[in-house]
Structure 1
Amino acid sequence: MTGLEDLPLVITQGDPAGIGPELTLKAWLQRSQVSLPPFAVIADPGHMERVAKGYGWDIPIAKVEPGQASPAFFHALPVIPLSSSVSTRPGEPDSACAPSVIESIETAVRLVRSGQASALVTNPIAKHVLYEASFRHPGHTEFLAALASEGDGQAHHPVMMLWSEELAVVPVTVHVPLSAVPAILTTELIVLTGRIVARDLRKKFGIQHPRLAVSGLNPHAGESGAMGLEDRDVIVPAVEILRRDGIDVTGPLPADTMFHGRARARYDAALAMYHDQALIPIKTIAFDDGVNVTLGLPFVRTSPDHGTAFDIAGKGIARPDSLIAAIRLAARLGAGAHRP
């Protein structure tokens, strides 16, 4: 039986007017220099060919079935074709392309769930473009969770981890206004997030005894209630529950002293209480090669830690570092996805 390490990765098209197609082509061009594993992109072969020619790149495009991707990868960019063509220009988002964006994601999930691909790497999408086409999910990750639930009938709580070799950090609350965080942040949410992070660090990352660090919400982690009660009343009970679960966890810790080098050496992942508390340190430390990893799903999903960048699409200046890092991490996690 073929092992996961022998299967190709699948990369979604993303928004075809963004930098995703350019980055995918650049990653394939650098496949030997950076030792990339075989992958296939789910896209319109004609569109990928036009993008390559627009940059003057002589890249052979191979229209393939999933099982043909790995052998084709070494001499051509394998493309698993969409059912419809894509006709958009870089930097010019068009809601008419929304069905192709959605089809690419759905196909990728189906291939991973059916064992025809080892892991999924998603190129960036623009939610506002999809909303114009009546997309009903809050975002990319929620759509993946819904597809996972359709596949196995179970509810999945996705958790966003931003990962680099130097730091892995998880925002407990994500895309919500800062003013709404205290109301949304609950002991139950922190515990659920911590359990998922600890489980997937063991199961997917192979860390036998994961160490978690939990940040405070307020300055100085609340200063024993002098600077806010959330740390004492919400976060401390969550940490105690996680410890009773047998998880190695510390906190709540003052966020301003959690991310220097000596502090990072004491944990495998940090749980931050809100978006910028998590993303500022990792984007400072690993701006070009940070990876977005979705935990809590029954398959491996990574993505570059950036958006569609419509403003630079078509200029040939987008850096593929984050996509390359996402591909390499997906291969690593996909090969270990069988861990109990």
Structure 2
Amino acid sequence: MRTVDDRTGVTLGITLGDPRGIGPEIVGKALSDSRVEALGAFWQVIGPSEAGVPVHVDLGPWRPSGDAGRDLAAGGRMAGLAVERATRLALDGTLDGMVTAPLDKAALKAGGYDYPGHTEMLAALAGVPTTMMLASDRLRVVLATTHIALRDVPDALTADAVRQAVQATTSGLRQDLGITAPRIALCALNPHAGDHGRFGHEDDELLAPLARELGLAGPLSADTVFVRALRGEFDAVIAPYHDVGMTAIKVASFGSAVNVTLGLPFVRTSPDHGTALDIAGQGIASAESLVRAMEMAVELVLRRRSGAAR
């Protein structure tokens, strides 16, 4: 049973994700990394047995069947059970939070969990609204809408959705990162922020009034706002839809960015990549982003404790 000394008093769950992917491999590598050992936290690995990593909570055996369809559902079920278990332990105070290895969204649904991803599943399990932030040393991006089809974005991008993203971002930057007066920019939905209605009216009629109301810069065109943030002008950018935000953060910091779920009563982080089924089992997957997610999870727990103590 592989753990590190509990020198900080921080106890975190780490889920193995979909066992068909690289989750078990990168969890094993991360737990052997000297940087993780130096964190002085206790890690409770949560996932199926026989997945290649010693576990503290056994959710049942995992034996690949050779049947791709059946393995899809089984892998998704194992991943979902791990998230459920970690959430219960975090909500009852046994864990300070969790770090989640990647899951496969199609497998998750096939396994009986009809959620677009971790963010939405955690919101349902914890009973609170959640917001997705991707953070690195260079850039922080928050998504106002998450895993939906592009054609559905204009309808989902409501005033309430933007307000929730801004509130969660402001609270998270203050509470977890110690930024007392966050500088937040709002990324436009349309090219050139709509160009005064030529390319759409959402920026003028929805986003511009919200930016004034909430004290945000913008809406600023996507082809400039992330450049300005990278230069240090903003502490975070609210992106109107998944790919515009994710593309920016991954171009800037792929492999070192961390997914942070804002709005939860506990800390949750994850790496910035997926299950990488194409290289699973080859021993070549990098654990770098997972290590960074583990470092950030410990950092966030300690910051929350420090804030509560003041």
TM-score, length-scaled by structure 1: 0.81
Q: Which amino acid aligns with 2:124?
A: A
Counterpart check, 1:228 vs 2:204: no
- 1:40 corresponds, among 35, 44, 51, to 44
Write the letter of the residue equivalent to 2:38. S
| Structure 2 residue 222 is the aligned partner of structure 1 residue 255 | yes
CA offset digits 1:92-122 (Å, max 9, x no partner): 6442344432221122112222222222101
CA distance in 1, matches of 2:190, 2:281: 43
Query: Which of 133, 152, 158 pairs up with 1:180?
Result: 152
Moved more, 219-228 or 92-101: 92-101
* Structure 2 counterpart of 1:80: 56
> Is 1:118 matched up with 2:96?
yes
Aligned residue pairs, count: 299
How far does residue 240 in structure 1 lie from its aligned partner after superposition?
A: 2.0
| Residue 85 of structure 2 corresponds to residue 107 of structure 1 | yes
- In structure 1, the residue corresponding to 2:219 is in which secondary structure? strand
Take 2:214 and 2:160, find their aligned partners in 1: how far apart are those partners? 11
Structure 2 matches for 1:181-330, cutoff 5 A?
181-243=153-215, 249-260=216-227, 264-330=231-297
Counterparts of 2:36 and 2:66 in 1: how far apart (Å)?
A: 27
Q: 1:170 to 1:13 in 2, by over 3 A?
A: same
Report the Cα distance in structure 2 between the residues aligned to 1:176 and 1:299, rounded to whole angstroms: 25
Per-residue CA distance 1:297-317 (angstroms, 9 max, x = gap): 111111111111111001111
Residue 16 of structure 1, aligned match among 13, 16, 19: 19
Task: Indicate yes or no: 2:5 matched with 1:27.
Answer: no
1:43-192 alignment, distance < 5 Å: 43-49=47-53, 61=54, 79-88=55-64, 93-149=71-127, 156-192=128-164
The one-letter amino acid paired with 1:329 is: M
**1:46-85 deviation per Cα after TM superposition (whole angstroms, max 9, x unaligned):** 4325xxxxxxxxxxx4xxxxxxxxxxxxxxxxx3122422
Question: Partners in 1 of 2:194 and 2:204 — Cα distance?
Answer: 7
Unaligned segments of structure 2, at least 5 residues: 1-5
Q: SS in structure 1 opposite 2:165?
A: helix
Task: Give the partner amino acid of 1:12.
Answer: T
What code does the residue aligned with 2:81 have? E
Give the distance between the partners of 2:172 and 2:273, measured in 1 at CA: 23
8 Å CA contact 2:8–2:40 kept in 1: the answer is no
Q: Measure the CA separation in 1 of the matches of 2:149 and 2:221.
A: 21
Deviation at 1:180, TM superposition (A): 2.3
Letter aligned with residue 287 of structure 2 = P
1:91–1:312 contact (8 Å) kept in structure 2: no
Distance in 1 (alpha carbons) for counterparts of 2:67 and 2:224: 40
The answer to whether the Cα contact below 8 Å between 1:17 and 1:89 also exists between their aligned partners in 2 is no
Structure 1 residue matching 2:101: 3-state secondary structure? coil
> CA separation of 1:201/1:90 partners in 2, compared to 1, >3 Å: closer, same or farther?
farther
Q: Out of 273-282 and 81-90, give the one that drifted further.
A: 81-90
Q: Mark the structure with the bigger radius of gyration.
A: 1
Name the SS for the 1:204 alignment partner: helix
Q: Which moved more, 1:273-282 or 1:180-189?
A: 180-189
SS of 1:161's equivalent in the other structure is strand
Task: Pick which of 181-190 and 209-218 moved more.
Answer: 181-190
Would the alpha carbon gap of residues 216 and 190 (structure 1) be closer, same or farther in structure 2, given more than 3 Å must change? same
Tell me: CA distance 1:91–1:20, structure 2 relative to 1, closer, same or farther (3 Å). farther
Q: How many angstroms apart in 1 are the aligned matches of 2:252 and 2:59? A: 41
- Indicate conservation of the 8 Å contact 2:76/2:108, yes or no: yes
Q: Percent identity?
A: 40
For residues 117 and 174 of structure 1, what CA distance do their matches in structure 2 show? Answer: 27
